[in-house]
Amino acid sequence: MKILLAQQNYHIGNFDANTEKILAAIATAKQQEADLVLFSELAITGYPPRDFLEFDDFVNQALAALDRIRLAADTIGVLVGCPTRNADPKGKNLFNSACLLYEQQIKGVVNKTLLPTYDIFDEYRYFEPAFQWQVLEFKGRKLAVTICEDIWNLGNDPLYRICPMDELMAQQPDIMMNLSASPFDYLHAAGRKDIVRRNVEKYGLPMIYCNAIGSQTEIVFDGGSVAVNRDGSVATELPYFEESLTMVEWLPDGRLNAAAAATTKLAGALPDMAELQPEMNIAQVHQALLLGIKDYFGKMGFGKAIVASSGGIDSAVTLALACEALGPQNVHALLLPSQFSTSHSVDDAVALSENLGNPYDTIAIRDVFDAYGSALRPVFKDLPFGLAEENLQSRIRGGMVMALANKFGYILLNTSNKSELATGYGTLYGDMAGGLGVLGDLYKLQVYALARYINRNGEVIPENIITKPPSAELRPGQKDSDSLPEYDLLDPVLYQYIERRMGPREIILMGYDAALVSRILRLVNNNEYKRNQFCPIIRVSPKAFGMGRRMPIVGKYLG
């Protein structure tokens, strides 16, 4: 039996485009004489559709698209993800389903059992879990079909009380097939391979796993679909961050693509990544950010970006990524020096744009700042220069860059990193402005690692930007270390608290200074109000700010 894996990039709610893409893959599968084509979870709607699922019209359009696809499934089988209605008045109104289409009929429907309600996932808000389990029969073979989370309930501390594959094994299936929408983070791709390996090992069956690719605002799906034999050897692994239509042959003896099967085996269990490793999978992080930018602009219909370019590391990396994702001609840099900006920072920002080949303008803000100062002087009285004046510069810059964005239809890319967002080291309505946070899920040490990766084939980001001490340049001689611990001390503590959810005692027992830990954790908790007003962030870590980390603003814990 020949099975085509369709690893595709869908657009949430764009039923015409999604359906055409699915139909094109079916046509390709027919040309290659495939028996079955396998798509990803909720392919018809795009994932995650979130509260669109509360609209009957949205669900009706999804089911109408399923009907179009059914007509194309005449001589070929199609396994595709789509929401379906729950006929039982009890429970939620919808299932998250995989539909087997063949001979222009719906031959079977499998509903997702394990509905993740953690981190970025909120599926139990919309879907009813499956309450019965049945293999799908196709051309004399028994298919154990599951959907994404259904295969993750393994280990000594399972999250759910039931495991769909345990139920299906009583029916003696011949193969496991999983339709997935499993998002990227810099640990998850390896973890995903490990979970496939563990399922194959536990059930003694080959598995074909089809994942989505593409970015949906903050969530990036990286693909990496895979077909694995019962002995753990990899028959086929699809590329990451790319669409792909790849054929797998399921031989009569149960093997998948026998000629390639013995070359690779999935790795064993993964170690717990207890420490922050800035270089960890930095090439994949780079790809994820490029896809995040590209799809945000493409799917929203935006044409051009603008970046406030300061000559610092964060704006430099953001600008370089934007130019690579969108083309340098579509990215405008705006330099906004004040009287506190050093000449080398301006020179560095100019050199960066010259290296990248993107257009740029320079608008000095001193006169504007002085005008504000003059207007505010009667109210500020004789109080000394301080935080208000520092933040005023940032807000002037925010106003300037947004003015150009409005005038010329640019989208402002925010340059704040995760270390800054965690500690509140940023100005609301100033440098925290933007339509998309490019670096908001990367700690400062990771930003430096990414800069070095961008320069892997030659200097794109000037070396001086990478090596000079970071500074907001809002007062004479200012450095980030005046307000924050050095990043090599700060970032590891943030990682333990945010990614690994360690409490202060646990972090201190790891060898970190107690006063330092207390200071950092208070900063994180006391600045939730700022992060709550921040733009969407491209997620690349196991625990990103935004949808995946929901904290009370007025909480007292460690505050």
530 is in an annotated binding site: yes
CA-CA distances (angstroms) from residue 334 to 175, 337, 360?
56, 10, 6
Query: What would the mean pLDDT of 462-489 be, rounded to a whole number?
Result: 89
Alpha helices of 331-432 — where are they, by DSSP H?
A: 343-356, 366-380, 387-408, 418-423
Beta bridge partners of 549: 546
Query: What would the mean pLDDT of 56-65 be, rounded to a whole number?
Result: 98
391 is in an annotated binding site: yes
Confidence of residue 474 (pLDDT cuts 50, 70, 90): confident
DSSP codes joined into one string, 27-52:
HHHHHTT-SEEE--TTTTT-S--GGG
310 is in an annotated binding site: yes
Confidence of residue 392 (pLDDT cuts 50, 70, 90): very high
How far apart CA 223 and CA 5 sit, in angstroms, is 11
118 is in an annotated binding site: yes
Those residues whose C-beta lies under 8 Å from the C-beta of residue 220, and which sit 6 or more positions away, are 183, 184, 214, 288, 291, 292, 538, 539, 540
Residue type for position 390: E
Q: Which of 21, 99, 112, 304 is catalytic?
A: 112
182 is in an annotated binding site: yes
Contact 305, 273 (CB under 8 A): no
Catalytic site includes residue 323 = no
Its sign, for the CA torsion 436, 441, 447, 450, is negative
How far apart CA 56 and CA 38 sit, in angstroms, is 27
What is the pTM (predicted TM-score) of this model?
0.95
Closest by Cα among 84, 35, 40 to 59: 84
pLDDT number for residue 122: 96
97 is in an annotated binding site: no
429 is in an annotated binding site: no
Those residues whose C-beta lies under 8 Å from the C-beta of residue 229, and which sit 6 or more positions away, are 200, 206, 235, 255, 256, 261
Catalytic site includes residue 112 = yes
How far apart CA 133 and CA 395 sit, in angstroms, is 57
Query: What would the mean pLDDT of 171-198 be, rounded to a whole number?
Result: 93
pLDDT number for residue 272: 62
232 is in an annotated binding site: no
How far apart CA 226 and CA 552 sit, in angstroms, is 40
Query: What would the mean pLDDT of 50-73 be, rounded to a whole number?
Result: 98
Contact 490, 445 (CB under 8 A): no
314 is in an annotated binding site: yes
Gyration radius from the chain CA atoms: 26
Beta bridge partners of 36: 3, 77
Residue 467 pLDDT exceeds 80: yes
Its sign, for the CA torsion 48, 50, 56, 57, is negative
pLDDT number for residue 559: 66
pLDDT number for residue 262: 39
555 is in an annotated binding site: no
Those residues whose C-beta lies under 8 Å from the C-beta of residue 277, and which sit 6 or more positions away, are none
Domains of the chain: 2-261 (3.60.110.10), 282-480 (3.40.50.620)
For 247-274, the pLDDT digits (tens) are 999 999 999 984 443 345 665 555 567 8
Q: Residue 92, exposed/middle/buried by CB under 10 A (0-12, 13-18, 19+)?
A: middle
| Count of residues in the chain | 559
Question: 466 by DSSP, 3-state: which?
Answer: helix
313 is in an annotated binding site: yes
Closest by Cα among 140, 132, 113 to 124: 113
9 is in an annotated binding site: no
For 197-230, the pLDDT digits (tens) are 999 999 999 999 999 999 999 999 999 999 999 9
DSSP codes joined into one string, 129-194:
PP----PEEETTEEEEEEEGGGG---SSS-SSS--HHHHHGGG--SEEEEE---B--TTHHHHHHH
Catalytic site includes residue 92 = no
For 394-453, the pLDDT digits (tens) are 999 999 999 999 999 999 999 999 999 999 999 999 999 999 999 999 999 999 999 999
Q: Which of 21, 41, 444, 535 is catalytic?
A: 41
The rounded Cα 139 to chain-centroid distance in angstroms is 38
420 is in an annotated binding site: yes
- Determine how many CB atoms are found less than 10 A away from the CB of residue 144: 26
pLDDT number for residue 470: 86
432 backbone dihedrals φ, ψ, rounded to 5°: -95, 5
If DSSP states are collapsed to H, E and C, what string results for 264-324? CECCCCCCCCCCCCCCCCHHHHHHHHHHHHHHHHHHHCCCEEEEECCCCHHHHHHHHHHHH
Q: Which of 82, 99, 148, 535 is catalytic?
A: 148
pLDDT number for residue 261: 39
Q: Apex CA 197: angle with CA 108 and CA 157, to 5°? A: 90
272 backbone dihedrals φ, ψ, rounded to 5°: -70, 125
For 85-94, the pLDDT digits (tens) are 999 999 999 9
Helices vs strands, H then E, count in the chain: 17, 19
Its sign, for the CA torsion 268, 269, 274, 280, is positive
For 359-382, the pLDDT digits (tens) are 999 999 999 999 999 999 999 998
Closest by Cα among 270, 223, 261 to 242: 223
Contact 448, 430 (CB under 8 A): no
